[in-house]
């Protein structure tokens, strides 16, 4: 499939008067899939071919079904051509995937669930209009039900370790409920009650056979598309080198079980500053920690020189 853009539209979109040129870099083996047929005054964009088989958490997508095939096709093209956000997510993966992968493995959750965090937040501590927060987009009530600390001073939803442990607990509970990692992932988007309602109405337990709301219906396909593109970016026209990736920030874990009156002063004790301390500990929501109950917290303190060595 090719989409041709005329001279007038091309001039507007690509700002030819300023001399901007967009080049997609692909390997020789994949050139047949890449945007081709450049003619004077036109720009051709090609649809990326789907692999013969695609899986999520070891469970294959039934690509022989036209609706499954077309749903993945939609998300793959959207992801591959959404260059800015996809590239930034891949760069952030260099920093955050190692920790996420380790926690998933330790808790017996398939590695593919790391792409769910990409679909949820592009690996950033965002807050949705509904109040879902952090890499894993956790609602306050749900987080508290699973034992997370969420108050004015501490919010575990911003803590990558704690929020990933929450996600693992949820995925394991969902898998035991549905007997499928695919359905477990779908329930993360739609909730147990929402998915259970459709299972009961439709008498169907296979995600790919269920009629669901548009967001949940697209959810697994977006995750699968992210997996495809992030696993082989060059194949989909995105050249990312190891040097492009954001690296983890080296840190030392410091145990704190008392009140901290000023994190600015606390940071100076470790030859760093308040900004760097908050970067590594976004779950600390105030510049102080009351901690009346003497709870032990693990605060990450960047090693000396981490700011320079990590390219910040």
**Beta carbons within 8 Å of 261's beta carbon, 6+ residues apart:** 288
The tokens for 118 are 């990409």
Same domain, 206 and 271: no
Q: Is the pLDDT of residue 27 over 70?
A: no
161-173: pLDDT as tens digits? 999 999 999 999 9
Give 304's pLDDT tier (boundaries 50, 70, 90). confident
Contact 70, 227 (CB under 8 A): no
For residue 248, give every residue at least 6 positions away whose Cβ sits within 8 Å of its Cβ, in sequence order, or none.
Answer: 94, 95, 96, 98, 99, 310
Query: 137 with 256, same domain?
Result: no
**CB contact at 8 A, 104 and 111:** yes
147 and 128 housed in the same domain: yes
Does residue 43 carry a pLDDT above 80?
no
Residue at which a domain ends, from 218, 244, 270: 244
Whether 70 and 19 share a structural domain = no
Q: How big is the chain by its Cα radius of gyration, in Å?
A: 22
Chain segment 88-124, per-residue pLDDT in tens? 999 999 999 999 999 999 999 999 999 999 999 999 9
pTM of the full predicted structure?
0.84
Both 63 and 23 in a single domain?
no
Q: Which two tokens stand for residue 161?
A: 């370790």
Under 8 Å between Cβ of 254 and 299: yes
Q: What pLDDT, on a 0 to 100 scale, did the predictor assign at position 46?
A: 85
Question: d(Cα 289, Cα 286) in Å, to the nearest integer?
Answer: 7
The predicted structure's pLDDT at residue 182: 98
Same domain for 237 and 110, yes or no, is yes
Q: Which H, E and C letters describe 68-80, residue by residue?
A: HHHHHHHHHHHHH
* Domain-ending residue, one of 189, 217, 244: 244
Distance CA 310, CA 67 (A): 44
Condensed to tens digits (0 to 9), the pLDDT of residues 246-276 reads: 999 999 999 999 999 999 999 999 999 999 9
* pLDDT at position 159: 98
Alpha helices in the chain (DSSP H): 7-14, 66-81, 83-106, 114-121, 140-145, 160-178, 181-202, 214-231, 263-268, 274-280, 306-309
The larger pLDDT score, comparing residue 143 to residue 10, is at 143
Same domain, 219 and 86: yes
Q: Are residues 6 and 102 in the same domain?
A: no
Model confidence at 22, pLDDT cuts 50, 70, 90, reads very low
- 2-to-44, 68, 110, 113 alpha-carbon distances in Å: 6, 22, 37, 33
Q: What is the count of structural domains for the chain?
A: 3
> Residue 257's domain spans which residues?
251-309
Is pLDDT at 148 greater than 80 in this prediction? Answer: yes
Read off the DSSP letter of residue 27: -
Higher pLDDT pick, 24 / 33: 33
Q: Is the pLDDT of residue 308 over 80?
A: no
What local confidence, expressed as pLDDT, does residue 243 receive? 95
pLDDT above 80 (res 32): no
Return the H-helix or E-strand segment holding 301: strand 297-302
Q: Please check whether residues 143 and 279 belong to one and the same domain.
A: no
CA-closest candidate to residue 300, choices 176, 161, 193: 161
Instruction: Looking at the structure, tell me whether residues 19 and 104 fall in a common domain.
Output: no
- Considering the domain architecture, whether residues 301 and 224 belong to the same structural domain is answered as no
CATH, residue 103? 1.10.530.10
Confidence label for 30 from pLDDT (cuts 50, 70 and 90): very low
> Do residues 213 and 237 share a domain?
yes
């Amino acid at each position: 499939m090719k989409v041709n853009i005329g001279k007038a539209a091309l001039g507007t979109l690509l700002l030819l008067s300023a001399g901007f040129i967009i080049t997609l870099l692909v390997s020789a083996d994949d050139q047949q899939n890449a945007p081709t047929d450049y003619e004077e005054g036109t720009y051709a964009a090609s649809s990326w071919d789907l692999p013969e088989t695609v899986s999520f958490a070891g469970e294959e997508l039934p690509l022989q079904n036209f609706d499954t095939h077309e749903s993945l096709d939609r998300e793959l093209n959207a992801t591959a051509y959404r260059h800015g956000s996809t590239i930034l997510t891949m760069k952030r993966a260099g920093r955050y995937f190692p920790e996420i992968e380790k926690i998933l493995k330790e808790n017996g959750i398939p590695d593919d669930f790391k792409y769910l965090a990409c679909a949820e937040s592009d690996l950033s501590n965002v807050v949705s209009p509904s109040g879902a927060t952090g890499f894993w987009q956790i609602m306050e009530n749900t987080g508290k039900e699973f034992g997370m600390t969420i108050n004015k001073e501490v919010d575990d939803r911003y803590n990558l370790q704690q929020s990933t442990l929450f996600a693992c607990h949820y995925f394991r509970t969902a898998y035991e409920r549905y007997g499928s990692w695919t359905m477990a992932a779908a329930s993360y988007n739609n909730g147990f009650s929402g998915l259970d309602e459709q299972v009961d109405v439709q008498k169907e337990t296979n995600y790919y056979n269920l009629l669901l709301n548009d967001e949940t219906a697209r959810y697994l396909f977006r995750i699968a598309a992210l997996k495809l593109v992030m696993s082989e970016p060059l194949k989909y026209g995105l050249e990312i080198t190891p040097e492009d990736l954001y690296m983890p920030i080296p840190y030392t874990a410091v145990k704190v079980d008392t009140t901290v009156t000023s994190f600015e002063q606390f940071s100076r004790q470790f030859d760093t500053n308040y900004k760097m301390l908050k970067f590594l500990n976004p779950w600390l929501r105030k510049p102080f920690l009351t901690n009346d109950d003497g709870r032990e917290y693990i605060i990450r303190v960047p090693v000396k020189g981490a700011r320079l060595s990590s390219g910040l």
